[in-house]
Amino acid sequence: MSTEQSAIAKIWNWRITAFCALILLVVTIAAVSFGPISINFFKVFKTLFDLPGGSTGQDRTVILQLRLPRVILGALVGAALATSGAVYQTVFHNPLADPYLLGAASGAGLGATIALTSTHHNLYGALPIFAFVGGVLAVMTSFIISGKFFADPNSLLLSGIAVGSFATAIQTYLQQRHSAALRPVYSWILGDLTSASWSVVAWSSIYIAIALFILFNVAKQLDGLMLSDEEAYSLGINPKRLRIIAVAAATLATATAVSASGLIGFVGIVVPHLVRGLTHRVTNRSLITISMAGAAFLVLADLGARTLLSPAELPIGVITAFVGAPFFLFVLRNRRKLVQ
Amino acid sequence: MSIVITDLTLRYGQKVVLDDISLEIVGQRWTCLVGPNGAGKTSFLRALLGMAPYTGSIKDGGIEVFQNHKRNVAFVPQHPQIPQGMSVAEYVMLGRSKREGWGNESLASRSYVRKVLEETYLFGMQGNLVSQLSGGEMQRALIARALAQEPELILLDEPTSALDLHHQISVLNNIELLKEEGVTIISTMHDITLAAMFAEQIVIMKEGRVLLTGSSQDVIHSTELKQAFDNRIDVHTLDSGRPVIVASKREREEK
């Protein structure tokens, strides 16, 4: 009869996931509480959960109509980018892969630039659609050009870089031709959550939820993609099919995130490495933890973006890089010590 | 249960890598493919895995291999993709996925993995990263993952190529134990002396074709074996009766 003494220790520890969920909850309530108008933390909690003693009047409007949609959008975008980054890193065997690798960012950037430089001003409202279509089209072009359709991940990666460069070239040309659009395009490239509203939350949450649902479902099998195709096949997975599913879902999440909030860099690389570094686990079962950590990270970054120079706002991309880069270097530097 | 191969042909583009092969691989025995580089040994294993599209048939228990997704086949590659940041325990646990489902960490599974780690002398190293293992330790980790799979069929591509003599024998003994559990073993091996020591059936291949199949005693002293290596090997017999195959003197002088 097997006992714990005659077995190796469990690899995955759900307490880490629970801890991340708690952090996300606390960060969410804090982000709704703080801003140009500070609202008591417990009042926010009661308002969010519709308990007696919650805020009323203007505070209630600030919480439910201004801050909450922004915080939720930040959480959705953070979860989408962090999860997609982790998936891309696994699929391409590349620790530096980020969600924008296959041209999603450049394609979305081109789509947004077309909307912003259009002589038809009413296209500005359709910017998210342009960005979404641009991102998806760029990734699909990378797929088609790579030819082997996932037989070789490296050929897809290289075609993604080529498509991205091409889209960026067109984007730069358009910007030069319409210098008045330089500022809004630049602002969009740095990313922001100021356009958050319940309608943006509604449509983006649908796509991101579908993508994350798919990725969480295949998360455990993604570990097989860390091996060669022959090894993965012998372990019972079809690596080519799984790569297509994983990259398609990750691209859907990334394109939605980009179209809702612009280009927010660093989340897709930093958060997966942070979670893996701190938990000492590389297994893709940590995807759900990575998504919650990504959500908490971006909500916190957005809180910094709107409060550090209040009432002015910093682009959120500046905060993610400013905070993320040193923290990331700290974790890399201390990883060996942490593992021991 | 035997694996029956009939008129197997495999092409990579225009290049024929396996040319009209027909043979029977006896179940619950060790079959070793030998031959010079480019003979098609690894391609043969890929076809057996069901990964390379072929013509002809490879039937395992009457079912075509690429259609039988329930088959539990373990594969030990010559050049594995080594996952960065993965511990030995995680790596070997992957072997349980086909039998127990991905991510399952039942007590029975973890006990089995511990037993396998002990058998392959890796117990105590389960927290180490696979990317930091030596060549020999990595080879044992690969074997451990294959053993954790409790396979019906195990395919090994040059399982001893990265090992010193002591570990070669140790790994081959581990593999041999599988026969007692009813596992069919198919391997490629450059070292024909070791192949003759452990395998019951030897298949001599050259340029995508099978030159001869038979028991190690029959094959080792055959002219086909010399022919496969362009007569550049010599077969000696030790006093114990054990054959030893070495590069011929002419070959050594040329080198």
Q: What is the pLDDT of residues B39-76, one digit of tens each?
A: 899 999 989 888 888 899 998 878 887 777 677 889 99
Say yes or no for a CB contact (<8 Å) between A11 and B89: yes
Q: Which of A4, A236, A282 sits opposite B97 (nearest CB)?
A: A236
Those residues whose C-beta lies under 8 Å from the C-beta of residue B134, and which sit 6 or more positions away, are none
| Domain of residue A54, CATH code | 1.10.3470.10
> Any CB–CB contact under 8 A between A217 and chain B?
no
| Chains A–B, number of C-beta pairs less than 8 Å apart | 99
Q: Give me the number of domains chain A comprises.
A: 1
> Any CB–CB contact under 8 A between A224 and chain B?
yes
Among A111, A113, A151, A101, smallest CA distance to A132 is for: A111
Do residues B200 and B30 make contact, with C-beta atoms less than 8 angstroms apart? yes
Return the residue of B nearest to A11 by Cα: B90
Q: Which of B51, B94, B97 sits opposite A233 (nearest CB)?
A: B51
State the residue for tokens 């606390």: A26
Report yes or no on A5 lying in a domain.
no
Is the confidence at residue A195, as pLDDT, over 80? no
Please compute, for residue A44, the number of CA atoms within 13 A of its CA located in the half-sphere on the CB side.
Answer: 23
> Any CB–CB contact under 8 A between A166 and chain B?
no
Residues 38-97 on A with a CB inside 8 Å of B are 93, 95
Report yes or no on A108 lying in a domain.
yes
Those residues whose C-beta lies under 8 Å from the C-beta of residue A87, and which sit 6 or more positions away, are A215, A222, A246, A247, A249, A250, A284, A287
Report yes or no on A2 lying in a domain.
no
Q: How far is A227 from chain B (nearest CA, A)?
A: 5
Confidence of residue A339 (pLDDT cuts 50, 70, 90): very low
Say yes or no for a CB contact (<8 Å) between B90 and A11: yes
Do residues A38 and A306 make contact, with C-beta atoms less than 8 angstroms apart? no
pLDDT in tens, chain B (255 residues): 688 999 999 998 888 999 999 999 988 899 999 988 888 999 999 898 888 888 999 988 788 877 776 778 899 998 888 888 888 998 999 999 888 888 778 888 889 999 999 988 888 888 888 988 888 888 889 989 999 998 888 999 988 877 788 878 888 888 888 888 889 999 999 888 888 888 999 999 999 999 989 888 888 888 888 888 877 888 888 877 777 887 776 655 555
Among B129, B169, B170, B122, smallest CA distance to B144 is for: B122
Instruction: Enter the ipTM.
Output: 0.84
Of A70-79, A320-329, B76-85, the poorest mean pLDDT is in A320-329
* DSSP, residue by residue, B146-173: HHHT--SEEEEESTTTT--HHHHHHHHH
Those residues whose C-beta lies under 8 Å from the C-beta of residue A280, and which sit 6 or more positions away, are A338, A339, B87
Q: Which of B74, B93, B102 sits opposite A234 (nearest CB)?
A: B74
Q: How far is A53 from chain B (nearest CA, A)?
A: 45
Q: By CB neighbour count within 10 A (0-12 exposed, 13-18 middle, 19+ buried), where does B224 fall? A: middle
Chain segment A275-310, per-residue pLDDT in tens: 887 776 777 778 999 999 999 999 999 998 888 887
pTM, 2 dp: 0.84
Element (H, E) at A73: helix A68-91
Q: How far is B232 from chain A (nearest CA, A)?
A: 33
Q: B-chain residues within 8 Å CB-CB of A236?
A: 69, 97-98
Is the confidence at residue A149, as pLDDT, over 60? no
Q: B-chain residues within 8 Å CB-CB of A276?
A: 85
- Full residue range of the structural domain in which residue A40 is found: 12-339
- Chain A interface, mutation test: which of B41, B49, B66, B81, most A Cβ atoms within 10 Å? B81
> Any CB–CB contact under 8 A between A336 and chain B?
no
Work out the average pLDDT over A82-111: 85
Say yes or no for a CB contact (<8 Å) between A226 and B81: yes
